[in-house]
Every structure is written in C-alpha cells, then in structure tokens.
Amino acid sequence: MLAAIGVGSLEELFERQIPAELRLREPLDLPAGMPEQDVYEHLRALAGRNRSVEEQLSFLGAGMYDHYVPALIDMLTERSEFLTPYTPYQPEVAQGGLQVMFEYQTAISELTALPVSNASVYEGASAVAAAAYMAKLHNGRSSIVVSEALHPHSIETLRTYARGYGMQVREVSTRDGVTDAQAWAGAIDADTSAAIFAQPNFLGAVEDAAALSESAKAAVAQDGPVVVAQVDPITLGVLAPPGECGVDVAVGEGQPLGNRLDFGGPSFGLLAAREEYLRRMPGRIAGATEDLEGRRGFVLTLQTREQHIRRERATSNICTAQALNALAGVVYLSWLGRRGIVELGELVLARTHYAREQLAAIEGVEKLHEQPVVREFALRLDADVDAVRRRCLRSGVNPGLDLYALSGRERDRGGLLVALTERRTRADIDRLVEVLAAAIEAERPAGAPAEQLLA
Amino acid sequence: MLAAIGVGSLEELFERQIPAELRLREPLDLPAGMPEQDVYEHLRALAGRNRSVEEQLSFLGAGMYDHYVPALIDMLTERSEFLTPYTPYQPEVAQGGLQVMFEYQTAISELTALPVSNASVYEGASAVAAAAYMAKLHNGRSSIVVSEALHPHSIETLRTYARGYGMQVREVSTRDGVTDAQAWAGAIDADTSAAIFAQPNFLGAVEDAAALSESAKAAVAQDGPVVVAQVDPITLGVLAPPGECGVDVAVGEGQPLGNRLDFGGPSFGLLAAREEYLRRMPGRIAGATEDLEGRRGFVLTLQTREQHIRRERATSNICTAQALNALAGVVYLSWLGRRGIVELGELVLARTHYAREQLAAIEGVEKLHEQPVVREFALRLDADVDAVRRRCLRSGVNPGLDLYALSGRERDRGGLLVALTERRTRADIDRLVEVLAAAIEAERPAGAPAEQLLA
Amino acid sequence: MSVAPAERPGSEPGRTIFQKGAPGRRAFVCPDSEVPEIDPRELLPERLRRAQAPALPEVSEPELVRHYVGLSKRNYDLDSGFYPLGSCTMKHNPRLHERAAALPGHARLHPLQDPEHAQGALELMWRLQGALAEISGLPHVSLQPCAGSQGELAGVLLTRAYHEDRGERRHKVLTPDTAHGTNPATVTMAGLEVVKLETNGAGGVDLEDLRRKADDDVACLMLTNPNTLGIFDENIAEIAEIVHGVGATLYYDGANLNAIMGLTRPGDMGFDIVHFNLHKSFTQPHGGGGPGSGPIAVSERIAPFIPVPVVARASDGSFALDHDRPKSIGRLRAFHGNYGTFVRAYAYICSLGADGLQDASQTAVLNANYLLARLQEHGLAEYLPLAFGELCMHEFVLSGGPLKRRLQV
Amino acid sequence: MSVAPAERPGSEPGRTIFQKGAPGRRAFVCPDSEVPEIDPRELLPERLRRAQAPALPEVSEPELVRHYVGLSKRNYDLDSGFYPLGSCTMKHNPRLHERAAALPGHARLHPLQDPEHAQGALELMWRLQGALAEISGLPHVSLQPCAGSQGELAGVLLTRAYHEDRGERRHKVLTPDTAHGTNPATVTMAGLEVVKLETNGAGGVDLEDLRRKADDDVACLMLTNPNTLGIFDENIAEIAEIVHGVGATLYYDGANLNAIMGLTRPGDMGFDIVHFNLHKSFTQPHGGGGPGSGPIAVSERIAPFIPVPVVARASDGSFALDHDRPKSIGRLRAFHGNYGTFVRAYAYICSLGADGLQDASQTAVLNANYLLARLQEHGLAEYLPLAFGELCMHEFVLSGGPLKRRLQV
Ligand SMILES: Cc1ncc(COP(=O)(O)O)c(C=O)c1O
Ligand SMILES: Cc1ncc(COP(=O)(O)O)c(C=O)c1O
C-alpha cells in the first residue's frame, strides 16, 4: 500500500505532507482508550447523576414534553437501514429514506393544513429564524415583528440570526397572557417582513390566531407581512391549524412527536407553508416521480434552492438536518392516526384544565392569565418560586418551570409554567397539588394575603 | 365474510361449533386491557422491585454469569428479520437463519473440539438429560452414573427425565472438591449407559477430565459408557476442550455467551458430540448444500431423526428451541474471536485466583477445596452463611451463593460459591473482601477458632 | 482481503463468518486484569489447559455487524409480511414487549437473586400463573417448561406420577393420528406407549375407535382442540366422559389455544392438563425457532405432582418460590423457566385484558373458518401454503376495536 | 383492504402509509382522562378549535411496523456495506453508542432539569468540550450548533462580532472555489459577501490570488484542510500569516478533521475557529441525513463572543450552564445543543483515547492517499463514486491494532 502511494513509511507519508513544525510532537492529552464495557459503565455512571423523568414526577415542559414514545419507534430508528445511511443523494439506494421524507412532509402538511412542508429543519427555535429568512427572501423587507410570548430561546435565536440577516427584531408585548392585539397591529408596517406569534404561546395560552393573522395582513395597505406561527404539533388535533387561520408559514419543535427528551436534542423542527413559499424554503424536500418503467419513486426535489447548487444564493445554508428524528415524527403521527391525534389532544386538554383549576384553588396560587390553555399553563405563586420548587423537588416532584429563571424578565417573577402530557395521570396531578400546596404554605410570607402581594 | 362461511352472525359461528354448555358465560376474570404506556409503566414498576446486577455488586454465578453483552448483539437479536420469523422449515425464505445455525454449530464444534453440534437445546440442565437419552439410544443400557458435583438443578432435571427413560441415576461422591476417582470408576459397570461429570464442576473445581473419561471407558471390558461432560463454554479458551479429553458428548449452559441473565432464561443449551452420535442427536441441525445452480445454501438436515417424521421413534421430542439465543451465542463468540476467548479466559482466571486468595486470607474463611479454579470457587465460612450474606447485602454486595440454600445438602452447610466475570474489577473484589470480612467478624461465634469448627 | 465488493447482501451467499476477516483481527478489547501477575502454570496446570486456541472467527466489529445484518436480510420475517407457514398460530410481536423485557430489572436479574430482591419478578410470574389458570380453567400452573414439547413431557410425566401415586401402572397414551409429531415423541420419552386413534369425517376423534381402545391400560388421551382445521370437536364432553370413565387423564395440546381464549376453557371441557405455547398464543416472538415457553395448567387431582418450583404468595403478600412439594415430578430445567418470555406474555395479557383476548380468539376463529370456506369454494384445500397469505389478511377488515390491532392471525 | 399480498418488500414501491389501512383504524390506544368531564366548549371555545381531524394515516400497529420495516429495506446502509457516496467521511457506528445514549438518565432527561439534577449530563458536555479543545488546539468550545452548517454560521457571526467589537465592519469572506456549498451559503446568511479564491495545481489555496484579495475588508478566510483530495495544504502557515496580517480571522471547516486528529491541530496551524461534524468525524450515525452536530472551538480572541450557554466547572467541582457572557452572539437554538450526539461522540473519544484517535487518522490519511494513487494509476480520478467502494475496503488490511476495528474510512 505504501509502495502504491510511493512512500517508504507511514512516517514519511506525514512528513511529506504536514510541515514538521505543525506536527503534534506529543500525543493528545486525552485518557487512554477503554474496552466497550468500561465505556458503557462510565456513561452509565454519568447517566446515574442525572435525574430523568423516570425518577421524578415532572411537570416540566416549556418547549420539550415527556410524551410516551411507542416502542416501535425505537425499533425502527435503530434499524441499521434507517440509522446509518448517508444523506439520500443517490435515490436508487435510498428509496426508503426518501419515501419516509415524502410521507413526513405529507403528515406535516395535513397537520398544519398548509400545502407544502420540507423534510425538517434543526429544531423549533432556529425554525423561527428560518421562517424569517424565507420572509426576507420573499419580500425583501427589513424588520421582524415578534410576539414576546414566544419561547425566550426562540426570540434569542431569532435575534442572533437576524443580526446576520441585517434585520431588526421588534417585540410585541402581551396582555392577559396573549399577544396584545393593538400593540401587534401597531408594530406592523410596510417595512415588516414577518410577523411571528406562537400557538399556544409560551405562557400556555391559546392565541386568537386567525385574528392575529388578519390584523397583521390588514395593518399594511398592499402586501402584508409574512405571517409566521410557531406551533406545538401535538396540540393540532384540537387547535385550529395554522393553514386555516391565515398563517403563511408554520414552524415548530417536533420533539413531542415521538422523539425523546435527550436533554434538549436532537429532535427536529417542522416547517410548512403556503404554496407560494415553496421555492424559498430551506432544507431538503422529497418529491414523487416515475422512473423509466413507470414505477413510482422518490427524489430530492427543487435542489436548485440548495447550497450545493446555488451556493451563496441558496435559500439557506442548512444541509444535514434531522432525517432520523423526522422519521420518528411521521411514525408517531401514523401511530396516533387521524383519530388518535384528536383523542390525545382532548385528553391532554382535559387534564390540563383539571390541573390548572386544582392548582389555582391552592391558597397562594393564581392563574397568570385567564386564556384557554391546552397543554401547559402559567401560574403566579405568592411565594419565592425557587424556594417552593426546591421543596417540591425534595418530595420527588418537579412542579414545572420557574419562568423568571428561564427568561430573566422581571415580569416573569413569581411565574411557574406547568406542562401536562398523557403520561401525567390524575393521581400525579393530585400529588402535585398536594406537594405544591404544602411547599407554598411553608414558603409564603407569613400572614400576607395573596391579593395584596399580587396587586 | 360471515356469508362466505355460511353463518348469519359471529354468535352463530360459535354456537354451531362450541356446545352451549361449554361456552364461557362470563368474561374471563382478568383486568381490563391497558394502553401501551400503562403496560410499560406497570412492567417498569415490577422491574423496579427487583435488584438487578446493575444495582448490586454481585458475585452470584452457579450456572448463570453476568458477562458483558456487547451492544451489537442487542441490535442483531432485535432486528425483525431475526426476532420474528418462524422456524426455518422453508429454506428458501430462511437462508439467513439457517446459515446462522450452521455457523453456530461450527463455533460450538471448534470450542468443544467435537466434530458435530446441533443447533441448540433448551438450556444447560435439560441438556444433560438430552445427552443421557442419546446414550440410551446408543447403547440401550439402563443406568446413568453422575458426579454429584454437577449443578443440583442438573441432577434434579436428570432424575426427572430418567424416570421417563426408565433409567436409574447413581451419584458419585466428591473428594476435596472433585469427583472421587475411585468411586467414579467403581460405580461404572456394563449396565452404565452414560457417565457424566461437570467441567468446571459445581464447586468451581477443574476436574481431571481426561482421567475421568479414561477411567470410565476402562471400567468396562468391551464398550464403555458414553462419557458426557457438562461444560461452561466461557472457560474453554483456557481449559482443555472435551473433545481432547476423551469426552463423547459435551453439553452446557450457553447463557455466558452473549445472553442476558433474564432471571434464568431464555438462554440456550449447547450439545456437541463425536461423529458417531450424529444420528442420535436431539433437535435441529443445519447443513450446507448446493442448489440447482451450484450456489451454496443451507437446510435443516437429518430431519428423519425428528418427531415430525419419525414421531414416536424420534430421537427426541424437542421442537422449538433457542434459535435467537444461539444467534447471540455465535455472534458473541465471533466478537471475542480466536484470541479474545483466550484472553477473556485468562483474565477471568487471574481475577478468580486473586479473589480466592484474598478471600481465603480472611479470618474465618477457608477454601472449600484446593483444586484449581477458573471462574468460580467455593469457600467455607466459619459463621452462619445466611446471616453473613444478609450483612453483605445491606452493604450492597452480594457475595455469592449460599451452597446449602440451593442444594439442601448437609455437607454444603457453611459453603459460599463466589463467581467472577470480566465485569467484576479488582476494586470490586477488594470491596467484597472488605465487606465479607466485616460481616464474618460480626457473625462469627465469639472466640471460637476457625480450625475447631471446621474440623 | 476482507469484505469483498461482491459481499453485498444477496450476492455470494453462503460465505460464513469463518471465511471472513483475517488472522489476529477481533472486535473484543480485553480489559486489564488489574491483579498481580502470576505464573500461568500456577493458576492452572499445563495438563488441564487448552493447547491451541479454538478456531473462532477473526473479524473486526464492522465486519461482524455487516455479516449478520447481511444474513438477516436473507430471512423473511413477520414484520415484513405474513408467513406462508405457521401463520395462523403466529401473532404480531408488539415492540413494547421487547422494551419491557429489556429493562435491567428484568433482563439483568440473576436467577439466584434472593427472593426478597426479586419480588417484582416473582409477582409477575405469580400473576401470569393466575392469568393462565383463569384462561385455561385449570387452577394450578407451572411455568417451568421451556417450550410446548417440554410442556407435553411434563404432562405425560404428571399423568404417570398421578397413576403411580394411586398404585397403577398404565402404559398406553391415546393420540389421534393427526396429532403433532411432538405428542407421540413425548410419549416415548416419558416411557409410555402410543396408541393411535382414528379420526372421523369432521376431523374429530372417532368415538367408536375411542370406546374400543379406552381400557384400564390407558393413562391419558392427548388432544388438540380445535384441531388444525379450526374445527372444534363437538363431542368433547363425551370424549371426556369416556376417558375419565376408564380412569385416564385428558391432555390438551394448547398450540391452538388462541382460537378459544375467552370463549371456552379446556378445564371446563374436562381436560386435566394443558400446555400453553407462549411463543404462539402469547406473542413471544418466534426467533426463527425459539426461544419458546410451554407452561402447563392442571386440575386439582394433578396438582400435587407439578414441577418445582412454583411461585406462591405468602399471607403477608410477599412472593416466594415453593420447592416443598413432596410428590412433585421434580425439575425440568435449571432455575424457574424462561422468565423473559413471561414478561412478554404477561404484557400481552395486560394489553388485551379479558375483552381483548376474547376479541383475539373470535377473530382467529372467524378467519380460520373463512379460510376453510374459501378453500373449499376454490377446491384448494390441498394447497394451504400458497393460499394462506392472501386469505389471512382479511383479518384486518374486522379489526375495528381499539385493541384488535394487536391481533394477527 | 390493507396490506395486499403484493406488498412484500420490493414489490409495488411507492405506496405510502396514507394509502394503507382503513378508516377508523389506528395503533394508539388512548388512556382514560380520569378527570371530571367538562363541556368541551368550556375547555376551548369553538372558534379556536380544529373543525376536522387532520387526515393522518389510519393503520393498525402491524401495518405500521410492516410498512416502515419494508421501507427500511429499500435503503442501502452502512451496516451492510460501504457507501458509494460520502464514504470517506463516514465511520462505523458502534452500537455501544446507541445503548449508552438510550439510558434513561441521558435519553429521558429534560433540558430544563435543574442543573444540580443534571450533573452527569453537564459533566459529559464539559468533558467533550475539553476533548474537542484538545483535539483542535483551540481552547474554547461551544457545543450549540446543530450541524456543520450551523457551526459555520456561528463562525462567521463570531467573526463579525469580533471585528465589530473592535469597531470594524469587514464585509468580505474568502473561500476557495472548491469549498463545500454550505460555506458560501453561510456567508450570505451571516450578511457578508463571498469572495472566491483560486485553487493552485495541488488543490491548495493559490497564494498569489490570496495576497491579491487579502485586504482590510476581509473578515475571514474559510478553509478545509486537508481538502477533498486528502491533500494537506503545505502553505498553511503562510496562509495564516497573510490572513492574520490583514487582521482577518481564519476559519477551519472541520468536515475532514478525521484525517488529522492527533497528527496536527487547526489551532497550531493558526486557525481561529473550527467546526466539528460529530456526525462525520465522531461516529454520530448519519441517519439518512441527520441528526448532526456541529460544535465549534475558538481561540482566545474569539472566546468572548461564543454562543450561550457554555458548560462551566465551578471551584467546588460542580457543573453549570454559563449564560453570563455579555459579548456573546447569543443563541443558535433552544436549550444546549444536540446532547444525544454528544453522548455518542464522547463515547467514541473514550473508546479510542489519544492513541486510537491518532491511529484512526493515520489510517484515514493512508487510505485517502492510497485511493488517490490508485485513482491516478487507473486514470479514474474523475469517476470517484464508482471506484470508492472497492478501494476503501483495503483499509481493513491495516487495522491490526486492538482499537483500529472502530475505524472505518
Ligand atoms: C399442535 C402443536 N403441538 C405441539 C407443538 C410443540 O411446541 P414446541 O415447538 O413449543 O415444542 C407445536 C408446535 O411446534 C404444535 O403446533
Ligand atoms: C466540507 C463540508 N463542510 C460542511 C458541511 C456541512 O455540514 P452539515 O451537513 O453538518 O451542515 C459538509 C457536509 O455536509 C462538508 O462535507
């Protein structure tokens, strides 16, 4: 082999290529290699120092949710044929993966009631930024109006990307838990490229999506902004879908659809749009075609949008994205099925309502807003949230997210965001009520009636 | 569909078939069905009430051992193509499974140094009974001589089967941990169909296999008994294989080869023999063949031995056995490889020696025998074994098996059987020494010198 | 050279793992022994040592994975379609079961773990015993047998023990000539003699022949009901009467149990002993020929003889292995049975519940009958294998109920 | 009608899951809500409700499994053989990594779990940050980017932030005309302008052209080294000097990093920013197009700007997410990065260690070179795709060391 290359030794091969002064003189300062069993034990020990949702009754949500992942998804995503292949640039050896993409797109399209979907983007927060770039490519305008009731990470991500796009981001405030309709309409002008809201929003409230879309479009005489909704796919069995609410581009975090929590990733971002945005979409899109013998097949389509061909004029730089996670997503949606997604939505809706009412009945707890909620809701505690949470944690219950701890915004002080899934039973909710009530009782400023403090 | 059958309703279908007085009038008294997530949680709760080898530093062995199962085995055994197929009666749709059987047989044959192997029997204890039946078919004699140093479960199983066979079982006692050579030779006569010993034996001792085989054969003028050895496959990288020790039939528990503990099963039993026993073998055997176009293929061979064809004159009634477990076995052996099985054997040997010496140095502990050991060894404690074990368990250490508790034989009182695998590190052994020493110290009859009690 | 380009799945079939790789190669990395080095001869005398390493394969991890993934692709599996053979006893294998069985608390539990640290496993076995008793209508269950044929062996040995306990040595076992091959093979292994029974026109037992052969030497009649055509022997009550009349026992080969679960019970029909095939009626995946599991359920009079151990529940609610059964035929294997298969069977029973099991059986029977009707219609009865695939599929048309999805006939 | 007989793998391709099953069918069984029933309109006003259920598939669980198992069989995967495309950046995907990543402590850990209850995860990330810093020779690491291209975006935004912090607005980014398409696409998205650099005869940067174009407007040079032919740009020191000379930064596209790990380091060559493709160089399986992971490592001067959060170790040895970086370019995504890929990459680094990584690289380079030599010999250089499969395999001839088995080029 060395002879074929024309060098006398491995050493020579490197000497002749890498300038001597750049070659590492000492081995990397890393531990020695380990046998498989030792690596496993090491990683198991690390896992043991995390408290997973198996070891804690957890009501954490805020973007990622502990839904049950059916066992068949693991089986499929662990099949070598799905797990290990390269990107399907060669359709003749990748028909399976391409068809999965096609089916995924169809499912997302049905779910959002929007005619076109790509094959996934990275995740939910950067999906918002991706939608903003689509808007920029579409109308060339320079500002983005965004409801402050998006997940803070989504807004932060949007801001990072927007600096690159050379666009300004304008946040619209909320009123009683939802985007302030007046402020929203007022913020949008002829320079607004995209107007973005979340459904349900970060505080768990269901927005009047149709009204927001309509007022956004109506705010500009001629051509309104691109209306973008960040949706939670699991709620789309019960909530009016973006496509029926005047939304142009829907994005969202796909994790609730059959993806595990994984401490935040990998999961996938969904992205669907009206037909006219098809050629502005980022990422891969699979299409159906026929081969020479008339057999149906699938290919990556509209590749001229992509960076391989269009380079600096591509609609996006996104390349490797989330094929395997999107597979889990479409299998999950097929597992639920047409009826199941509605039933699951109704179930979570009912439990969310129950939990909210029970918790709000605790002395020292009130609803942060009165809007309808579907899977998550914000409360305001008349006590130090951090201290209350610590008490609950000691009882094995994670009561949800300290809003202030995540957002750092003053107005979120006292806020607790509680999420439900089909995994949290009524007994679990009742336990939360009990534990939270005790914790608040213990932490509440002595004698102070809730009304005063909350005023 | 009902019309095609010619009945008006489902009800009628059953009425016309199952006599009314036999039909169940009430539903079965079983709980209502549950969604997948609830079944999972229920089974997880049950699992949570077991203490696995992940939650306890365990030196239990005595037939099943906590070896590391490489991750690729799970991947392969969980592939639908291996997990779900029916028995390969139709070779054209089962070439994969048949080739696996063939490879498995080859590996077992190499390991045991015996020319023929079947495709597995149920497990290690009934494998001994299967070997005895081969002997009966071979020489028609009516008694079985067995070393008492087999695993008690193996002897009990043999006795159960032997009643069916109409054969008598004669146990040969041990001396200093191994089969008493004189008693062994003395027990064998012209009526002895099979002579059976274990290597290593139940007390962890390495038998002089060649000597036992030779003396068994020599005990009878003309045609000696069939010599059967029950082996531990993981030790065959270091121990002289049965085929080189005059053994006719080797059997053994296959669990150590890539099968998980599973609270005792399913695993597989290995069975290999000299060529002359091929047609007496129970169970399936895969063979290589060529198809019409000269391509190599695999089929179930010698099926005329089997019950489907030979019915009451079959060599065995065994039908469904352990294909998937045997797959794990051959993958494990291939993963270890020619060198690996020796290295692993040497590793376990070295650690076993270390552990034995360290433990025997504890005041109040002595070796139960002085024979060489390779992966397991018996100790005698100068204290109540049950009480000592309980103390260790409270410290999270399972020091091994209480011999008496398993066998119920008086002579096993005070005995502790300690097993090693590559998973138990030196630090683990040192911890065992520490915990056991403390436990014995606490439980030892005050002031009684060990020598007296053990005398 | 190693994996040659031609070594793609499908091409060059028949090259075994032994013909791949290269000397010295392996996937395994051996951990350090960490303990003081000692002269090998001191550890183990030369005489007892293996001289030459066994000629196991020498392959890298990727080669190993590719080889067996490649072989898997040369199998036809239930997850891809129906079987041309055995399909009507095969069920869908829900993946939940694999997930549950793989939980360390189940999969990494040592069989000799102290019972107080195996309460979950013992409870699961106890519950499964109870469910199988309820399903079969026979109150006492042993989970020991490794597969159907070992269940049969247990059954015949139980029959022997039962008769011997009463001072009788009966040596004949009646089996219909259509019986599965394991039945006669088992009888021989259990030291008894097979006496064949004629089959009548409907595929059932010929009563005349039975009356002729049922005598004091008969230990047992082994029967499968419904039989292989899905036909329930309408004379079963009479058969039981005849068999019991001569003091013999009635054995039920439960391979077709999935056709009657929740509809009728072997115990109610008069059977004394039944074996279950968990790998057929209770979704244990077939694995290309195992692992299986063949628990048995028996009537009161057979109960004293069942194999040890049995899981018992103490008055304090804890579970224990009961070995103290003086009349027991003994053990059939080491430890307590194929626990991993129990987890799956129990998961199946939990998923379906009473209703679901009954639905499953109704669907199975309906299909078996539909199949039969269609076969007769087309005059194809002789060519079952080919016709199966198409016809069994119509099961789907029925499966509307929320739980029927698990039912594959 | 459902799974028709023709629906065997391979036959009737193209029928989607939406075309299977039947109305009303599904695999999911919904748990009881258990809570008091309430008028649905009270829970959610009609106006906000979905009127018609989305037209998702209606299939049973067995249909679902068969469909996707069937589709999987229409893919060509790494576990069956080599790729005709992308193979030299693809590694064997050890199954250990999947097992470790699936442990509930990793897989079922909520990203917003309190740091004191996620110490294992944070430590793993911290260790991975450290290992990537050591491998790249650049001390500060952000694990945030979701893939290579997002790592590039981070890199260009970092460059912008760096220059802006110094009061400079530089708008040009130099990239060789052979650069991967993501490089120019990224530059545009980051609001800068691509300036193409000519390639010299050896496939390296044309120094003349570089000198010509390197001016005060240049923010950055993006480079892949070794380039796609496996050739190390011998002028790299000079390139760095030129680029740094005009005050610009040097960006390393790490897609080919697996060729140099343990041999030389981007940091030592003068690069300021590097991205890693964990799904290429560190065995994260490619999944047919993701998930990926594109951590970046940067030099001291770039460090103040890296994305938040970063994992930091406190003096008491505990780990925390550090968000307090006032000059940071901000977030690129929600939460902390693709943690699942970190588990696998970290497992890989643990398995190989320093020696193993170096072995892996040497093998990769040797192969790349051998490939090159052979291609030239055969005059096939233009037809890489076809020739790849055969030639890459010769890697096995080398892999004798115990750890080399993990190396697939
Ligand atoms: C009717 C019948 N009885 C008995 C058996 C034997 O069961 P096993 O293969 O589990 O030993 C089978 C299946 O093989 C069968 O179909
Ligand atoms: C040289 C090079 N740079 C960058 C990328 C982009 O990485 P990713 O696909 O992870 O976004 C790739 C691979 O696609 C690549 O080969």
The predicted model gives B128-154 an average pLDDT of 97
B75 contacts A78? CB cut-off 8 A = yes
Question: Which two structure tokens, joined as six digits, stand for C158?
Answer: 């139980």
Torsions phi, psi for D98 (to 5 deg): -65, -40
Percent of chain C residues topping a pLDDT of 70: 83
Report pLDDT for A229: 98
Average pLDDT in the B395-413 region?
A: 95
Bridge partners, residue C295, by sequence: none
Q: What is the DSSP pairing of strand D140-142 with strand D296-298? A: antiparallel
Q: ∠ CA(D327), CA(D333), CA(D337), 5° rounding?
A: 95
| Model confidence pLDDT, tens digit, residues C325-373 | 999 999 999 999 999 999 999 999 999 999 999 988 888 777 767 766 6
pLDDT recorded at residue C396:
26
pLDDT of residue A84: 93
Compute the distance from residue C348 Cα to the ligand 1 centre, in Å. Answer: 20
The pLDDT-based confidence of C25 (bands split at 50, 70, 90) is very high
Q: How confident is the model at residue C256 (pLDDT cuts 50, 70, 90)?
A: confident
**B449 — pLDDT class (breaks 50, 70, 90):** low
Return the pLDDT at C230.
Answer: 67
Of C31, C65, C95, the CB nearest to A71: C95
Q: Which residues of A touch D309 (CB under 8 A)?
A: none
User: Which pLDDT score, from 0 to 100, does residue A375 have?
Assistant: 97
| C386-408 average pLDDT score | 30
| pLDDT the model gives residue D376 | 60
Instruction: Give me the pLDDT at residue C259, please.
Output: 84
- Asked if residue C273 lies in contact with residue C297, where contact means CB atoms within 8 angstroms, the answer is yes
Mean pLDDT of chain A: 94
Q: Indicate the pLDDT class of residue A445, thresholds 50, 70 and 90.
A: confident
- Least reliable range by pLDDT among B145-149, C133-137, C196-200: C196-200
Residues 46-75, chain C: which have Cβ within 8 Å of A?
A: 65, 69
B74 close contact with D: CB closer than 8 A = yes
* Confidence band, pLDDT 50/70/90 cuts, at residue B7: confident
Best substitution site from D182, D186, D280, D384 to test ligand 2's pocket, by max atoms within 8 Å of Cβ?
A: D182
Average pLDDT for D266-289: 95
Position of tokens 């349900």?
A: A200
Nearest chain C residue (CA) to B91 = C75
pLDDT at D380: 43
Q: Are B75 and A71 in contact (CB < 8 Å)?
A: no
Query: For the ranges A221-230, A374-383, C207-216, D378-387, which has the lowest average pLDDT?
Result: D378-387
- pLDDT band of residue C408 (cuts 50, 70, 90) is very low
- The per-residue pLDDT for D406 is 35
The answer to whether A178 and A371 are in contact (CB under 8 A) is yes
Which residues in chain C are contacts of B30 at CB distance < 8 A?
131, 134-135, 349, 353-354, 357
- Quick check: B40 and A78 CB within 8 A? no
What pLDDT, in 10s, does the model give residues B272-286?
999 999 999 999 999
Residue carrying the six token digits 């080739």: B99
CA dist B268 and C338 (Å) reads: 10
Q: What is the pLDDT of residues D309-345, one digit of tens each?
A: 999 999 999 999 999 999 999 999 999 999 999 999 9
Q: Which ligand is nearest to the CA of B89?
A: 1
B116-117 and B269-273: which strand pairing? Answer: antiparallel
Q: What is the C-alpha to C-alpha distance for residues D302 and D305, in angstroms, rounded to an integer? A: 6
What pLDDT is attached to residue C231?
Answer: 73
Residues C7 and C68 sit within 8 Å (Cβ to Cβ):
no
Q: Is the pLDDT assigned to residue C85 strictly greater than 70?
A: no
Beta strands in C235-377 (DSSP E): 249-254, 273-276, 296-298, 310-313, 319-322
**Tokens at D138, concatenated:** 């650049």
Pick A312 or B254 by higher pLDDT: B254
- Of D267, D270, D332, whose CA–CA distance to D306 is shortest? D332
3-state secondary structure A244-288: HCCCCEEEEECCCCCCCCHHHCCCCEEEEECHHHHHHCCCCCEEE
Pocket of ligand 2 (CB under 6 A): A 319-320; D 147-149, 180, 182, 224, 253, 255, 277, 292, 294
Predicted pLDDT of residue B8: 80
| Choice among A48-57, A165-174, C384-393 with the minimum mean pLDDT | C384-393
Counting ligands in written order, the one closest to the CA of A319 is 2
Give percent of chain A with pLDDT exceeding 70.
98
CA of residue A417 to ligand 1 center, whole Å: 57
In terms of Cβ atoms closer than 10 Å to its own Cβ (0-12, 13-18, 19+), residue D321 is middle
What was the pLDDT predicted at A303? 84
Closest by alpha carbon to C162, among C242, C218, C239? Answer: C218
Residues in chain D within 8 Å Cβ distance of B74: 95, 99
For C275-302, how does the pLDDT look when each residue is reduced to its tens digit (9 = 90+)?
A: 999 999 999 999 999 999 999 999 999 9
Residue A265 contacts C, CB cutoff 8 Å: no
- The DSSP result for C99-168, as a single string, is HHHTSHHHHT--TTS-GGGBHHHHHHHHHHHHHHHHHHT-SEEE---SSHHHHHHHHHHHHHHHHHHTT-
Per-chain mean pLDDT for chain B? 94
- Nearest CA-CA distance, residue D131 and chain C, Å: 22
Is 70 exceeded by the pLDDT of residue A384? yes
Mean pLDDT of B435-448: 87
**Spatial contact of D48 and A240, defined as CB atoms under 8 Å apart:** yes
For chain C, the C-alpha Rg in angstroms (whole number) is: 25
* pLDDT tops 60 at residue C381: no
What's the distance, Cα to Cα, between the start and end of chain D in Å?
47
Lowest-confidence region among A397-401, B75-79, B265-269, C359-363: C359-363
How far apart (Å, rounded) are the C-alpha atoms in residues C55 and B337?
Answer: 8
CA nearest neighbour of C65 among B80, D249, A84, A32: A84
Confidence of residue A452 (pLDDT cuts 50, 70, 90): very low
**Residues of chain A found within 8 Å of residue C69, distances taken between Cβ atoms:** 80
Nearest ligand 1 atom, CA B317: 11
**What crossing angle do the helices spanning C384-392 and C339-377 adopt, rounded to 10°?**
100
Q: Would the pLDDT of D32 be above 60?
A: yes
Best of D34, D61, D99 to disrupt the B interface (most B CBs within 10 Å) is D99
- Which tokens belong to C293? 């599991």
The phi, psi pair for A64, rounded to 5°, reads -135, 140
Cβ(B134)–Cβ(B226) under 8 Å? Answer: yes
Lowest mean pLDDT among C87-91, C319-323, D268-272: C87-91
In this model, does residue D1 exceed pLDDT 80?
A: no
CB C244 within 8 A of CB C171: no
Q: What is the pLDDT of residue D375?
A: 58
Task: Read off the pLDDT band of C387 (50, 70, 90).
Answer: very low
Indicate whether D402 pLDDT > 50. no
pLDDT band (50, 70, 90) for residue D231 = confident
Which of the four pLDDT bands, split at 50, 70 and 90, describes residue B358? Answer: very high
- Report the pLDDT value the prediction gives residue C13, as an integer from 0 to 100: 67
Beta bridge partners of D197: D176
Structure tokens at C136: 């079969």
User: Is the pLDDT reported for residue C379 higher than 60?
Assistant: no
pLDDT over 60 (residue C409): no
Q: What are residue B239's DSSP bridge partners?
A: C49
Distance CA D356, CA D349 (A): 8
Burial per residue of D372-404, b for 16 or more beta-carbon CB atoms within 10 angstroms, e otherwise: bbbbeeeeeeeebeebbeebbbbbbebbeebbb
Give residue A306's Cα distance to chain centre.
23
Of residues D105 and C367, more confidently modeled: D105
